[in-house]
Chains A and B, each alone.
Chain A
């Protein structure tokens, strides 16, 4: 009998997590976000203010966001997907409408504007999205894509400025021995190949896949990766790569923070005239359990001061006009803040013609075809 009691005890120990987990759900906000895409200090402030716990799970691709939401294994309260994924989720009926009356900072006035306005480039992206999506999302960060390059390679900068996309895909137009890398996402590889060929990156047919295949084979990529690309370029292990502009700025801000001069950093980014752009936004899933808390979280980050705090650790541009002005209007002694202002103006100018093409929402079968094509490129070269 003694043995049975001991076994029982062990089983109870094992079952407590099950019981506890259901109880602990009450005051815990579940957020699904990209890696290093939020300021932990700001989150801590939110937790203190509202006396709740915020748990942030990480995922590194829109498709993963979608599969996690669809499989329903976790009832997230907030997800931060990209533009095309917001559309897809809305069309598949996975989101609930955002109640803008609960967002006090949404209606806050700024200057001559009534609502907390967004930057022009961002509005350009939102205009391309399917009608009705504006009820389901609140912009979080946005940005462009570009070609990050190693300044230590002579002639690379000039090649890029002259030839733009051609320098990336054609080995003859760039200095010999340039090590080139590409982001390991099939849609990016396909899209950039399409831009090189002056075709629409969001249209996929059998012929275009052939063309993309030939282009990618000809480029001679040495490395396929995600965040490894920006790190490799900074470490002088790679010379050229297609990255998010924000990726470059992440590394740039760190370098500035460590005392390097603005013009002394060994890498830079070139943003071609025709490039891609994206927007990430808050959405609330249909089966979210803490809807009011989710709204409060969104509201928190719509406060221009909080957005400022958030933007100070993230390389992507803030969506809010007021925060943007706060950053770029800085005049003062602090070297980092001056550099920050300068970077914003240089890489994210607030002009009407600063735009990019958003990626479209391609369905699973097409993505599978693109992935297959990229796999063929990897194995055939």
Chain B
């Protein structure tokens, strides 16, 4: 491409710096201070926030976040790979349509969807009401349990796992598969030795796209956990709500380490972020 076009990208770099990098420094500063909201009057340096990191609820929230996010990622990986592979192998004329089918639920508002899911998990809900009319009693009262939160997380973020894996599978050169078969591998072996390793790029990015929002989201744990289950995202949201920007910033910086880790993995596995979609 013409070198002349470089200029098109330069403003974007400035924009990214201002809006993405600069706030990080502000937040690092805020973590070390006590301030009333966002104003810097009456503020002073303190390490108070760091002691809060040791509190049992904060540690438990961290543990919860990591455990839930990992479980969600693993479950989504199994289910997602299964679906992506089957769509890939299928003989549908237009796979684009099938993939759009997976994106479609994301157009409905997340809060509404989670609330609807939460209703299903209560003992008395609209479905049980309808079914009672036909004479079936059904009650799945799992709302407020960790299971409910994990189900909610998987249902919401599964599409984020399916799409990158599918993209990676599509990119595999078919001649490689043919060569494997020619060399005498069975289908099963072909899958494990040839296809799966080549699709790992998609698995990695898909896992990141599921792990990070699961860890840091707060709407789903709050609604489906009936307020009992605290993830780190909930604690951050609480602290911003009561204007404790200092604690919130500190926790946000900690999450940032996870994000940087993810960026590092992406840089090693998928250099240009091709499968991030």
Contacts and interface: CB of A to CB of B under 8 A. Distances in A.
B241 A61 contact: yes
A325 B55 CA distance: 53
Nearest to B39: A70
A225 B122 CA distance: 14
Contacts of B37: 67, 70-71
A375 B57 contact: yes
Contacts of B36: 70, 364
Contacts of A381: 228
B114 to A, nearest CB: 12
Nearest to B59: A379
Nearest to A236: B124
A376 B235 CA distance: 11
B243 interface: yes
A170 interface: no
A38 B242 CA distance: 25
A102 interface: no
A93 B190 CA distance: 73
Nearest to A60: B241
B243 A225 contact: no
Interface in B123-181: 123-125, 141, 144
Given A225-B227, A364-B243, A378 B57 contact: yes
B55 A222 contact: no
Interface string B58-69: 101100100000
B27 interface: no
B228 A378 contact: yes
A224 B242 contact: no
Given A71-B38, A375-B230, A63 B123 contact: no
Contacts of B270: none
A381 B230 CA distance: 12
B251 interface: no
Contacts of A222: 144, 226, 228
A181 B218 CA distance: 20
B124 A224 contact: no
Contacts of A223: 144, 226-228
A371 interface: yes
A120 interface: no
8 contacts: A181-B226, A223-B144, A224-B227, A237-B122, A372-B52, A379-B56, A379-B57, A379-B60
Given A375-B57, A375-B230, 19 more contacts: A63-B242, A67-B243, A70-B38, A70-B243, A71-B38, A222-B144, A222-B226, A223-B144, A225-B226, A228-B226, A237-B124, A237-B141, A364-B243, A368-B239, A368-B244, A371-B242, A375-B61, A379-B60, A379-B64
